[in-house]
Chains A and B, each alone.
Chain A
Amino acid sequence: MRITENMRVSSAVATQQRMAERVQRATEVASSGARVGKASDDPSAWATGQTHAGRSAAAKARSKVLDRAASDLEVAEGALASAVDVMARARAIATQMANGSMDAATRKNAAIEVDALRDQLLGLANTQGGAGYVFGGTKTDVPPFTPGYAFVGNTGTRAAEIAPGTTLVTNLSGARAFTTAGGRDPFADLGALATALRTNAVAGITAAIDTTEAGRRQLSDVRSDAGLTLERARSASEVLGNLALQLDKARAGELEADAAPAFTELKNASDAYDRSLTVTKQILSLSSLAR
């Protein structure tokens, strides 16, 4: 084949162009750390990366929701623990005051303490968390119990996703803990105890031993449920956090470049470019007449 001037120049320019493109690409990869930046770099990997990014973001968001729900459940569980203590103290008072050696004055004083315990229980039933009143069901914007101890919340549930299509109820029923919906009405039982103490009615005081114990158990049961839900929420959040990490890792595997091969390629590309430049200069400074 005859070799002409144009062939030499075209070949040199084309080679130089290819080398420059290789250096450019290697520089982009090495400096950004990304093997796939645009969809056209690797359409399949790009699409997988997009899907992983979406699922990772969703998992992180679900995990956050569960963390916040866990935070409110923790508040509720703490309030219920205190409520259990309140009822335990009320039962202790009832047991102590049921003793025949107690006089009416002592019982009246105890009634004052029981009144205080009832107010304390009211405060606990109206505890607020990050998402409003924790025992109000879905009516979270107003205190679920009035100063007259009436329940004005509802039994609506609030759920959080622990996986696509799978939910976990993350709120508690204040009705079940603090009203007869759970079996006993602790406020009424404490009120009855205080009245019995104030009126020195030993039979009523004796009866309160059982009712306050039942109320304590009722609150304790709801607290156990809260603790269980709290653990499930925490566990699900942790699983989702790990899932997000795995998806991020998988996404990085699809889209990111390994540092060592990227820098090796950059070095090779730069060397090839330099060599090509030298040869191109020789060819362009040609011709054989000039040598």
Chain B
Amino acid sequence: MASSLTALLGIARDGAVAQQAALQTTGENIANASTPGYVRRAVVMSARSGFPNGPGGVDVTRTTRAFDGFVTRRVLDEQGKLSAGQSREGALAQIQGIVAPETGSVGDQIEALAVAFQQLVGFPGDLAVRGNVLSKAESVAQTFHDTAASLLGQRDDLFRNAQGVASDLNQRLVAIGDLNAKIAQAKDSPDGGAGLRDQRDQLVREVGQRIGARVVEDPSTGAWTLFGGGTVLIDAERVSSVDVGLDPTGNLQIQARRPGGALIDMTTKVVEGSLGGLREARDTDLVSAQTKLDALAFDFASSINVAHSAGFGLDGVSGRPLFATSATATGAAYAMTLDPAVAGRPGRLAASATAIDVPGGNGAALSIVKTFDANLPTSGLPPRDTFAALGADIGTRLSSASAEIELRQGTLGQVDSLRESQSGVSVEEEMVDLTRFQRAFEASIKVLRTVDELLDQLIQSKR
């Protein structure tokens, strides 16, 4: 009889200990209800077999994390795409502000020059009107130059941004490598290194935001192999770093530097995360805008120059271009200026088609005016419409990037909800558990007291 009561005493003690562990885990869940990356824990209890020594008690066999690898991978996937869209959208908004500002754009200046030349048609010999044409032409050249310079500056900024992202990324890769080592050591601890795993989950998500990440877990060590940009960035504790530089053409070159120093070019594979977004914005969207702006500047200047060179200034001299720019379209916008022979000399502006028609002839001015309505060779559109197409192209890229962000936010919201639903902390649930475990704990204590009283009565009866 006494031995049965003693066994019961042990069972009650184990029950109290198990419920206390459960209460502790519940408290931990509640405390971390809002902690980013925290995965809900649960204590797994199992009934201890009492055979052959009578009734069994309870054991806390392990603490589990409500972690779902599939959902986590989906979150990482969507996070990488969303971050790419957000980075690209930010850069495109800047590009749009440079190329197609609400006032003072290249298109506005071209329009102002067209109006000035129309005035010259009316008053070909008027020096004030000629001065206005030169002033507007200078504004066109200056605006082309400023726009091209701002785009070049924006390209430099995006390069520095990409380097900053790579620096942040590398810090996180190193931290994940350290955590992999610690997790391997804590694998057999009661909670299996749950806190370390939470930290790693969060860091991996942050890596995904920067480059897009995929993870594969080694079940034997619990270590994660992390892929980013189409290559292995972390293999257990071996951590690569990401270098961002420029290739000979000036485009971003993104390389993984292996622990031994070997370099793996992963540029074209970096399509996700903020690095992927910055790369697309810098080396695709911005380059497209630069190329189209240069083509517009070159074609526009060339067509005006042809008509202007055929005309005669008030001094009866012909053959002068109005604009000076590069020999080819490349860099034409940046290089554009007023031709030095004409700059500051309104009388040299060609308005007459023949020397004999000076100063009242306007044949050349009319020819120049017609170039504003004529199609340019590269775009197949008149200058103003070519600018409109350039602005619309950037606007379309930006609005589609925004639409993609909206889509990705919706998808990420769904998979995040799914992840939260499985791994997040519901305070209501935890409160119920708190009450449940508290009552179980109290009941175990009650058993202890009861056994104690029974033993006491047994001892008294023996006396």
Contact = CB atoms under 8 A, between A and B. Distances in A.
A159 B362 contact: yes
B399 interface: yes
Contacts of A41: 395, 399
A168 B385 CA distance: 26
Given A50-B391, A58-B372, A58-B373, A154 B356 contact: yes
A68 B357 contact: no
Contacts of A64: 118-119, 122
Contact of B357 (A44, A154, A167): A154
A260 interface: no
A1 B360 contact: no
B395 A130 contact: no
B424 interface: yes
B420 interface: yes
A107 interface: no
Contacts of A161: 118, 121, 366, 369-370
Interface residues of A, number: 57
B234 interface: no
Contacts of B392: 39, 43-44, 46-47
A95 to B, nearest CB: 39
B427 interface: yes
Contacts of B357: 138, 154, 156
Interface string A2-32: 1111110110001000000000000000000
Contacts of A159: 121, 362-363, 366
Contact of A43 (B358, B360, B395): B395
Interface stretch (B107-115, B140-148, B149-157, B248-256): B107-115
A288 interface: yes
B391 A138 contact: no
Nearest to A38: B96
A141 B361 CA distance: 11
Given A5-B425, A38-B100, A164-B370, A156 B361 contact: yes
A2 B360 contact: no
Given A131-B125, A287-B427, A140 B398 contact: no
Contacts of B214: none
A41 B389 CA distance: 15
Interface residues of B, number: 64
A14 B354 CA distance: 69
A38 B395 contact: yes
Interface string B359-393: 11111001001101100000000101101110111
Interface in B110-135: 110-111, 114-115, 118-119, 121-126
A39 B391 CA distance: 6
A39 B394 contact: yes
Contact of B373 (A48, A50, A136, A165): A165
Contacts of B385: 47, 50-51, 54
A130 B128 CA distance: 13
A171 interface: yes
Contacts of B391: 39, 43, 46-47, 50
A158 interface: yes
A69 interface: yes
Interface string A165-203: 101000100000000000000000000000000000000
Contact of B395 (A5, A14, A39, A53): A39
Contact of A7 (B359, B396, B420, B429): B420
A65 B114 CA distance: 12
Given A287-B428, A289-B431, A40 B388 contact: no
B424 A6 contact: yes
B263 to A, nearest CB: 38
Interface string A58-93: 101110110011000000000000000000000000
Given A51-B385, A58-B118, A132 B125 contact: yes
Nearest to B394: A39
B181 interface: no
Contacts of A42: 395, 399
Contacts of A140: 125, 359-360
Given A131-B360, A287-B428, A289-B431, A1 B417 contact: yes
Given A7-B420, A39-B398, A61-B118, A141 B125 contact: yes
Q: Which of A51, A55, A138, A140 has the most CB of B within 10 A?
A: A138
B249 to A, nearest CB: 28
A38 B387 CA distance: 14
Interface in A205-234: none
Interface string A117-140: 000000000000011100011111
A6 B417 CA distance: 9
B407 to A, nearest CB: 14
B102 interface: yes
B369 A51 contact: no
B285 to A, nearest CB: 12
Contact of A138 (B360, B366, B388, B417): B360
A59 B179 CA distance: 70
A102 interface: no
B417 A53 contact: no
Given A37-B102, A54-B385, A68-B122, A138 B394 contact: no
Interface in B77-125: 92-93, 96, 100, 102, 107, 110-111, 114-115, 118-119, 121-125
A283 interface: no
A160 interface: yes
A171 B359 CA distance: 14
B422 interface: yes
A116 interface: no
A98 B84 CA distance: 100
A9 B34 contact: yes
A42 to B, nearest CB: 8
B264 interface: no
A288 B360 contact: no
Contact of B360 (A51, A60, A132): A132
Contacts of A141: 125, 359-360
29 contacts: A1-B417, A2-B421, A2-B422, A5-B33, A5-B426, A7-B421, A40-B93, A41-B395, A43-B396, A43-B399, A47-B388, A47-B395, A50-B391, A54-B107, A54-B110, A54-B388, A58-B118, A131-B125, A131-B126, A132-B360, A138-B352, A139-B359, A139-B360, A156-B360, A158-B361, A158-B362, A159-B121, A161-B121, A288-B427
Given A54-B385, A131-B125, A161-B121, 4 more contacts: A39-B396, A40-B402, A43-B396, A132-B359
Q: Top 6 closest A-B pairs, CB basis?
A: A39-B395, A4-B424, A140-B360, A54-B384, A61-B118, A50-B388
